[in-house]
């Protein structure tokens, strides 16, 4: 069956190794030592010189990144990050100069792409988005959601056969990383802390994937204020292992179905050995309704396609804040939250297995599955579920609407039908 294909695939994500380090052309980047001097030009120069079969070294220093970086087309490059990249906080500059990501009108401070790239932060290399300024600023805006020009910390675009490991990401300006048009690559031993020092952070996802396949994420720790991890349009063969998520929303599928009449899919997603503490969900799926209102990033709807073959194995929760497993097909324009029919989406969610989900929750719902009447959710299998309130009582509620082909469980009541940005009512 397909799930086995996904499992085999994860193990077969084996990026190539390049020539021995000794023979490589090496570019060591000098840090200016002051945030009055932008280190981005020196970084670009080094990458230009060592972009093929080279080695780039960031020394154990702080590099001040005051302008947008687009580093593309690397071939067989080692990137050694021993220091910190610290982004500037000139918000008006970044709103104007951040680069398009290529989806949802999102933008980014840093694009990195290439083939056979091996980035190693050795557990100390750090990308610091200086996000406290952004978290304070966004709270004062009328549009606190996807503000045009607010940058992701980094976007991997066109990264293939590569490994990113041992890096810390602190206080991302917005999402930590977006991954687009990338294939057969690994991100492991990654630590993300987007907890604000002055105000709480928002829209600081751990990672978002789209138009990408054959990706492996292993040993991630994420402290944040939105999706801990999210697979969006055309994410295929994605595996997430051995990770710890704190305070965020959990593993998200979507939102998807935001582009009217566009056909998008999410397929073969597997997560295993994941710990969730104080997250809203463990696993949740969110699709737009069939009524298009406004345009992306904050409006949309009317999308087609399906999300299928998703396996969540050995999930452990502590103090979950919402339904552990949630589906909401009622994502709507956040400027007109009441407009849009929650059960008319043509986007179908099917073939989900939750195999092992135990721990504690504060919410009365184990599952809350609000599916489309037009394209109901099918083949949802649950096994080894053991969720308890902190007083030890087993949580008894499995709420659903338009769910067909349950395996290993029964619905115990009707689900709440309504929209929110975080899945469910």
Ligand X SMILES: *[C@@H]1O[C@H](CO)[C@@H](O)[C@H](O)[C@H]1NC(C)=O
- Strand runs labelled E in 171-262: 177-180, 183-193, 207-210, 212-223, 229-231, 235-246, 251-256
- Kindly state the DSSP code that residue 148 receives in the 8-state scheme: T
Q: Which of 33, 41, 123, 405 binds ligand X (CB under 6 A)?
A: 123
Min. distance of Cβ 92 from ligand X in angstroms?
Answer: 7
Contact flags string 234-263 toward ligand X, x per CB under 6 A: x-xx-------------------------x
Min. distance of Cβ 88 from ligand X in angstroms?
Answer: 4
Under the binding rule (CB under 6 A), the answer on residue 200 touching ligand X is no
SS3 percent helix, strand, coil of the chain, rounded to 5, is: 10, 50, 40
- Return the structure tokens found at 372: 């489309």
SS3 325: strand
Min. distance of Cβ 366 from ligand X in angstroms?
Answer: 12
Under the binding rule (CB under 6 A), the answer on residue 67 touching ligand X is no
Q: Which of 82, 145, 273, 360 binds ligand X (CB under 6 A)?
A: 273
Under the binding rule (CB under 6 A), the answer on residue 9 touching ligand X is yes
Min. distance of Cβ 337 from ligand X in angstroms?
Answer: 15
- Return the structure tokens found at 332: 């709507």
Q: Which of 33, 100, 405, 413 binds ligand X (CB under 6 A)?
A: 100
Min. distance of Cβ 231 from ligand X in angstroms?
Answer: 13
Under the binding rule (CB under 6 A), the answer on residue 212 touching ligand X is no
Q: Looking at 69-77, 201-209, 249-257, 317-325, which segment touches ligand X (CB under 6 A)?
A: 69-77
Judge whether 226 counts as a catalytic residue: yes
Pairing of strands 99-100, 107-108: antiparallel
Under the binding rule (CB under 6 A), the answer on residue 197 touching ligand X is yes
Q: Which of 275, 283, 306, 333 binds ligand X (CB under 6 A)?
A: 275
The Cα-based distances of 247 to 86, 110, 220, 323 in angstroms read 24, 26, 14, 14
Residue 302, phi then psi, degrees to nearest 5 = 90, 15
The residue (of 142 and 197) whose beta carbon lies closer to ligand X is 197
Which letter, b or e, does each residue of 152-174 get, where b requires 16 or more Cβ atoms within 10 Å of its Cβ? bbbbbbbbbbbbbbbbbbbbbbb
Spatial distance between the Cα atoms of 109 and 100, rounded to a whole number of angstroms: 9
Min. distance of Cβ 234 from ligand X in angstroms?
Answer: 4
Under the binding rule (CB under 6 A), the answer on residue 25 touching ligand X is no
Contact 214, 8 (CB under 8 A): no
Under the binding rule (CB under 6 A), the answer on residue 4 touching ligand X is no
- Return the structure tokens found at 396: 């008894």
Under the binding rule (CB under 6 A), the answer on residue 396 touching ligand X is no
H-helix segments, 265-423: none
Number of residues that bind ligand X (CB under 6 A): 56
Under the binding rule (CB under 6 A), the answer on residue 209 touching ligand X is no
Going 136 to 229 to 283 to 361, the CA torsion angle's sign is negative
Under the binding rule (CB under 6 A), the answer on residue 193 touching ligand X is yes
Spatial distance between the Cα atoms of 173 and 192, rounded to a whole number of angstroms: 12
Q: Looking at 16-24, 248-256, 329-337, 405-413, which segment touches ligand X (CB under 6 A)?
A: 405-413
Min. distance of Cβ 22 from ligand X in angstroms?
Answer: 26
Spatial distance between the Cα atoms of 348 and 305, rounded to a whole number of angstroms: 6
Contact 189, 217 (CB under 8 A): no
Residue 79, phi then psi, degrees to nearest 5 = -125, 115
Min. distance of Cβ 207 from ligand X in angstroms?
Answer: 14
Q: Which of 32, 82, 341, 360 binds ligand X (CB under 6 A)?
A: 341
Under the binding rule (CB under 6 A), the answer on residue 32 touching ligand X is no
Q: Which of 61, 149, 278, 420 binds ligand X (CB under 6 A)?
A: 149
Spatial distance between the Cα atoms of 162 and 24, rounded to a whole number of angstroms: 17
**Which is catalytic among the residues 226, 290, 351, 363?**
226
Residue 146, phi then psi, degrees to nearest 5 = -85, 85
Which residues have a Cβ under 8 Å from the Cβ of 399 and sit 6 or more positions away? Answer: 323, 365, 367, 368, 369, 411, 412, 413, 414, 415, 416
Under the binding rule (CB under 6 A), the answer on residue 373 touching ligand X is yes
Q: Which of 57, 374, 416, 417 binds ligand X (CB under 6 A)?
A: 374
Which residues bind to ligand X, rule: CB under 6 A? Answer: 5, 9, 35, 66, 70, 72-73, 88-90, 96-97, 99-100, 105, 107, 111, 123, 148-149, 189, 191, 193, 195, 197, 211, 213-214, 219, 221, 223, 234, 236-237, 263-265, 268, 273-275, 295, 297, 314, 316, 341, 343-344, 373-374, 389, 391, 393, 408-410
- Active site (catalytic) residues: 226
């Amino acid at each position: 069956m397909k799930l086995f294909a996904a499992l085999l695939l994860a193990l077969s994500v084996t990026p190539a190794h390049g020539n021995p380090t000794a023979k490589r052309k090496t570019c060591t980047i000098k840090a200016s030592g002051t945030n009055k001097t932008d280190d981005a030009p020196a970084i670009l120069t080094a990458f230009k010189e060592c972009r093929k079969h080279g080695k780039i070294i960031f020394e154990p220093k702080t590099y001040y990144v005051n302008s947008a970086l687009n580093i593309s087309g690397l071939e067989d490059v080692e990137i050694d990050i021993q220091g910190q990249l610290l982004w500037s906080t000139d918000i008006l500059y970044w709103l104007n100069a951040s680069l398009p990501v290529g989806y949802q009108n999102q933008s980014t401070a840093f694009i990195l792409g290439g083939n056979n790239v091996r980035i190693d932060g050795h557990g100390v290399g750090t990308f610091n988005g200086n996000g406290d300024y952004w978290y304070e600023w966004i709270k004062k805006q009328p549009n606190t959601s996807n503000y045009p020009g607010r940058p992701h910390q980094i976007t991997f675009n066109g990264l293939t056969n590569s490994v990113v490991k041992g890096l810390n990401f602190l206080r991302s300006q917005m999402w930590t990383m977006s991954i687009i048009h990338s294939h057969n690559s690994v991100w492991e031993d990654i630590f993300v802390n987007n907890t604000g020092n002055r105000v709480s952070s928002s829209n600081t996802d751990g990672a978002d994937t789209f138009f990408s396949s054959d990706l492996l994420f292993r040993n991630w720790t994420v402290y944040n204020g939105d999706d801990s991890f999210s697979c969006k349009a055309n994410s295929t063969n994605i595996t997430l292992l051995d990770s710890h998520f704190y305070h965020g929303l959990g593993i998200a599928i979507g939102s998807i179905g935001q582009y009217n009449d566009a056909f998008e899919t999410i397929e073969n997603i597997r997560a295993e050995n994941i710990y969730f503490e104080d997250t809203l969900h463990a696993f949740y799926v969110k699709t737009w309704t069939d009524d298009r209102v406004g345009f992306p990033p904050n409006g949309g709807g009317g999308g087609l396609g399906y999300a299928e073959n998703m396996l969540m194995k050995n999930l452990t929760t502590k103090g979950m804040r919402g339904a552990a497993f949630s589906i909401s097909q009622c994502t709507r324009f956040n400027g007109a939250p009441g407009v849009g029919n929650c059960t008319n989406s043509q986007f179908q969610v099917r073939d989900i297995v939750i195999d092992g989900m135990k721990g504690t929750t504060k919410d009365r719902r184990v599952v809350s599955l609000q599916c489309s009447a037009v394209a109901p959710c099918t083949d949802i299998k649950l096994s080894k579920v053991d969720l308890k309130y902190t007083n030890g009582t087993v949580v008894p509620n499995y709420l659903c609407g338009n769910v067909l082909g349950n395996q290993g469980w029964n619905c115990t009541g009707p689900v709440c039908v309504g929209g929110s940005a975080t899945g469910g009512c």
